[in-house]
Amino acid sequence: MIMDSDILLNFEKHVFYHGTTFKAAESIAQRGFCVWFKDDEMGRYAGGGNLGIGLYITCNWKIALLFGSTLLRVAIHPGTRLLNSALPPDGKIIDSLQREFGREILRKSPRKVLPKNKKLQLQELISLFRYHYYHIWEKYSGRDRNAYCRWKRHLDNLRVFRSFRSMLIQYGFHGYGNPGDDNGIVIFAEDRLVLKEIVAVIPFDYYSELCKGDFQFRIIREVGEYFQRHGTLRAKTLAKQVSEAATGTLRI
């Protein structure tokens, strides 16, 4: 059994946001969230970011807004299992894995180190995952930005970290993350998210200034008020439809 502390709980007590484009928001309103896409030129491809393939959400609306001019409020379906990566790894388990498999278990993907007849137990997988998460993200977050930039040259570390995705899926996880850091949470399964509100669609000219850091909304209410004053009719109409659909008064 996995301990409750390993899983992010009480989704209903948190407000989650997702930043995207208005075109993508129209698609989400019509068909729901999507991880994989199809393009005539590119073929099939997946959306993703620092934490790998998936949908990204955060409790910080300012961070979400940096990833797109359209700010969405989303909810997570009950029963979704998200691994809490903010907790430190179990040192005893890490030491035990090193004794059994050597230092390589901390440097390479477990699948490249473990014998074919060996499978990590759930708590072993969680501790090893958290070890990598800490050394790639948490160790530098908010501390040494120069060090934070240095790790980006070591793409092998990031590839190892992302290799945990399929193993976590096998154990029934729908995503992982730290809702308190810049990466937020990545959701593997697109059906675990539901659109609740289009908070704002920022016009391009003003949004370009946001990206330069020339202005900053102080509170989220200001974002919504700006949208009501300057948003296009098309965007406001979609926002109204989403709001009515979320309350059960309209089916998009």
Q: What ranges do the domains of the chain cover?
A: 13-79+189-246, 83-173
Alpha carbon distances (Å) from 120 to 81, 123, 142: 19, 8, 32
Least confident of 99-108, 179-188, 209-218: 209-218
Residues of the chain above pLDDT 90, percent: 47
pTM for this prediction: 0.84
**Ordered alpha helix ranges (H), the chain:** 22-31, 61-65, 91-101, 110-113, 122-133, 145-151, 155-162, 164-170, 204-212, 220-230, 233-246
Torsion sign over Cα 185, 191, 194, 198: positive
Which one is predicted more confidently, 59 or 2? 59
Measured in degrees and rounded to the nearest 5, phi and psi for residue 245 equal -65, -40
